[in-house]
Amino acid sequence: MKKVLILTLVFVAASGFVFAAGGGEDESGSVIEVASSSTAEGNIAVQRQIFGQLIDEYNAANGTAYEVKFVGNQGMDIINTRMSSNDKPDVFLLDSPADVHQYASDGLLLDLSAYAEADGWKDVLFNWAYDLSKSDGKVVTLPYGYEGMVLWYNKNIMKELNLVPEEIDTLAEYEDALRKAQDAGYIPCMLGSQDWPWAQEWYLSILYSYTGRDLVKAAVEGKASWTDPAFRKTVELYKSWHDKGYLADGKSYVLTSDDAINAFSNDKALFKLEGTWAPYWIVPLDQADQDKIGVMLHPAINDVEKPHMPLAVGGMWVVSADTENPDVSAYLLSGLLRQESQDDYLQQGMDIAPMAIEASRFEGLAPVVENMWSIVNGALANGSFGYTTWAFYPPETRVYLYEGIVNVLEENISIDEYLKEMQRLNEKELAGGFLPVLPSAH
Amino acid sequence: MRQEFSERVRKENRIAFFSVIPVFLFHFLIVVLPSFNTVYGSLTNWNGLGTKDFIGFGNYRELMTDPNFLNAIGNNLRWMAMFLVFPILFGLLVGYVLSRVEKGRVALRAMYFLPYVISAAIAGKIFAAFFNPYFGINVAFESLGLDFLAKDWLAPAHALVSVAMVDMWHWWGFLLVIFMSALQQIDPMLYESAEVEGANDIQKIWFITLPSIKQTLLFIILVTMVWSIGTFDYVWVMTKGGPGSEILSTMLYKNALFKYRAGYACSLSVFQTLLAFLLFAVFGAVRKRMED
């Protein structure tokens, strides 16, 4: 009896161990999993609502009973892991065109060409966005949520220092503003990368793009070198701002992203560098706090480029090649291109689809957000965009770009060593099969 | 009688065998099998998604010349050195004192143990706030006139030590509990005899306490060394393994999941495992020699 009892217990324990991970409900077929990298609760709620509406429409029109399971917090580290396993979501978000190319070349993405043609993506999307949707001639992604780097400023401090944002266009004018802010006891420009190392590349995206868009494109494509004197001069400029305390009192890599937001929204900093996603923390502020924030393009740093907006797509929606439901998955993506879907995104302060949005959609937004979109759309209409690092650079080069710069600022390595290593990594990645996908900026 | 005894031994062996089987199966499926895959992956240029093309020892050759790798090993060894000294010493000393306390021992032990149950994600974020140059501990140092201690604690020059301090704060309470359990096993008669012989506290610790808890101490030292090779959580939460605090595990994570270099990450993983085995073997040999 005792023996039977022990064996039974052993069997139960073994079953528990072996099958613990396999006890989930059967979700095959009727459930479409949509995975997004969004982390903010409000952003997740908006996306969940939009996908929910789309699936309801699809069910009503086709007599089906699909459900959407929307999952947030699925960053690239998680998606990469899931896609190398058998736990693949149906629809998911990748970070950049470089990621899309990597996935497409490994055959992990559904060919959306037929759906894109049927739903007229080419006519709806901006040309550059439609170009980014293709890999090896096939449409494999819906570039979504275009974003760019802009400069936010505090109107009250501007006024106090007798500065006029519209008159800060050149390097000399910008440095003059930074100096005045510092002399008055303010942090000239706020940036925090301690918990978000990627924040360093926000600024470098602007500076490299301003060094010369053609030069950046050529360097990424291997036709020019990162050791070019123009890049050297740009890194020298960045380091000089760090050394003078213009960038977060010289503590940009010691402060967190929240520190940067808090200091800026509490009138301690003149400028804050952040992309067009910043409304996610601006919109929830009190009206008075929102009203004191202004937005502008970063001033030029040389005579080569006028102020422009380094551009990225906030994400690339794709469908897994293994999905059992390609039609409904593609339907969900096409649904994101509707004008009315943009309202929810705009109200939440999220990025919108890379297509011409009706002007009326921007009415009624927080004035600073409306102004931001006016600047962004103006830059796009003029073809005045550059290249963000996270959207277009080879992955290993990109990681080194924002980690290595801290060593430059700390004087652990020289600027020449930094750029030489970037060049080495870029060359290595090109030799290893990385295919640059940079739209022409002209 | 003898037959009955051997029958009983056989029966106990059977029970032991069946008891171990589930755990063994679990370990084999979850740890051993994927390990073989990792070893194979380390010999390929796998990007983490697609096919694995065999490239021989290319990843290992690259490791040997990668300055990041050498830097990461150096940081892991610095980490290990700190953990072999401070938490063990602190846990041992406080454990020794606490074991002599009559009242409130349990409460004190629970209090010291508390940090161990707080997750790395939460503790890391809280301490990152403490290290903030504008409102963290620097403000306290400055108000106490200790300006020389007001540093950028998470800047590359201090990041590794700062993060290690937080992890040691979390870890030492666990060691304290282990050491107290061992200390309570020591026969009080030994201390009484030593007192009669006129031994002072240091002599009692050296000649009675340490030899009596030698096995526990050796186990802790071994565990500390092996875990120092694989540590990850606090470093990732607090600095993402940025300049100054890159360690083998953060380097592995970035290569596998951000740089599309899973094959290279596999070779790092294999290296970590071999290093842990090597430490285990060397430590075992030293221990055997000590015991002999």
Is the pLDDT at A364 greater than 70? The verdict is yes
Q: Distance between CA A247 and CA A178 in Å, rounded?
A: 9
B18 touching A (Cβ < 8 Å): yes
Range in A159-163, A234-238, B67-71 the model is least confident about: B67-71
Residues A351/A38, Cβ–Cβ less than 8 Å:
no
Parallel/antiparallel/unpaired status of strands A309-319 and A385-387: parallel
Predicted confidence (pLDDT) per residue in A11-42, tens digit = 555 555 444 444 443 444 599 999 999 888 88
For range A324-353, the mean pLDDT: 90
Q: How big is the CA angle at A63 (ends A60 and A69), to the nearest 5 degrees? A: 70
Chain segment B43-54, per-residue pLDDT in tens? 999 999 888 999
User: For residue B287, which of B229, B211, B219 has the smallest C-alpha distance?
Assistant: B219
Category of B93 on φ-ψ map: left (φ > 0), alpha (ψ -120 to 50) or beta? alpha
Return the pLDDT at A438. Answer: 82
Please name the helix (run of DSSP H) or strand (run of DSSP E) that holds residue A288, with its range, or none.
Answer: helix A287-291
With bands split at pLDDT 50, 70 and 90, how would you rate the model's confidence at A378?
confident
A147: pLDDT strictly greater than 60: yes
* Alpha carbon of residue B216 to chain centroid: 15
pLDDT at A4: 61
pLDDT at A439: 78
Q: Any chain B CB within 8 A of the CB of A381?
A: no
Scan for tokens 């590349």, then name that residue: A201
pLDDT of residue A7: 56
Whole-number average pLDDT of chain B: 91
User: Could you read off the pLDDT of A210-237 as tens digits, one per residue?
Assistant: 999 999 999 999 999 999 999 999 999 9
Q: Report pLDDT for A15.
A: 54
* Alpha-carbon span A202 to A276, nearest angstrom: 11
Q: Which two tokens stand for residue B185?
A: 């096993």
pLDDT at B177: 93
Q: What is the pLDDT of residue B73?
A: 96
**Residues 121-180, chain B, touching A (beta carbon < 8 A):** 128, 132-134, 152-157
Is the separation of the CB atoms in B262 and B41 below 8 Å?
Answer: yes
State the Rg of chain B over Cα: 24
DSSP state of B119: -
pLDDT tens-place string over residues A396-424: 999 999 999 999 999 999 999 999 999 99
- Spatial CA neighbour of B99 closest among B20, B37, B186, B31: B186
Asked if the C-beta of A42 comes within 8 angstroms of chain B's C-beta atoms, the answer is: no
Please give the Cα distance from B10 to B1 (Å, whole number). 14
Count how many residues are written for chain A.
442
**Site of tokens 């080069």:** A397
Question: Number of C-alpha atoms within 13 angstroms, CB side, residue A433?
Answer: 12
Residues from chain B that touch A3, judged by Cβ atoms under 8 A, are 15
pLDDT tens for each residue of B151-188: 889 999 999 999 999 999 999 999 999 999 999 899 98
Ramachandran bin of A212, using left for φ above 0, alpha for ψ from -120 to 50, beta for the remaining angles: left
Q: How far is A153 from chain B (nearest CA, A)?
A: 21
By the CB < 8 Å criterion, does B25 face chain A? yes
Average pLDDT for B22-29: 91
Which of A110-114, A229-233, B121-125 bottoms out in mean pLDDT, i.e. has the lowest? B121-125
Above 80 in pLDDT, residue B105? Answer: yes
CB-CB neighbors (< 8 A) of B51 in chain A: 106
Write out chain A residues lying below 8 Å of B157, CB-based: 410
pLDDT of A145 above 90: no
pLDDT at residue A23, rounded to an integer: 42
Mean per-residue pLDDT for A46-73?
Answer: 95
Q: Is residue B67 less than 8 Å (CB to CB) from chain A?
A: no
A-B CB pairs within 8 A amount to 101
pLDDT of residue A22: 44
**Which amino acid is it at B156?**
P
Tell if the pTM clears 0.95, that is, is over it.
Answer: no
What token pair was written down for B173?
């309470």
Question: How far is Cα A362 from Cα A357, in angstroms, rounded to an integer?
Answer: 8
Q: Between B22, B133, B240, which is nearest A17 by CB?
A: B22
Model confidence band, residue B8 (pLDDT cutoffs 50, 70, 90) = confident
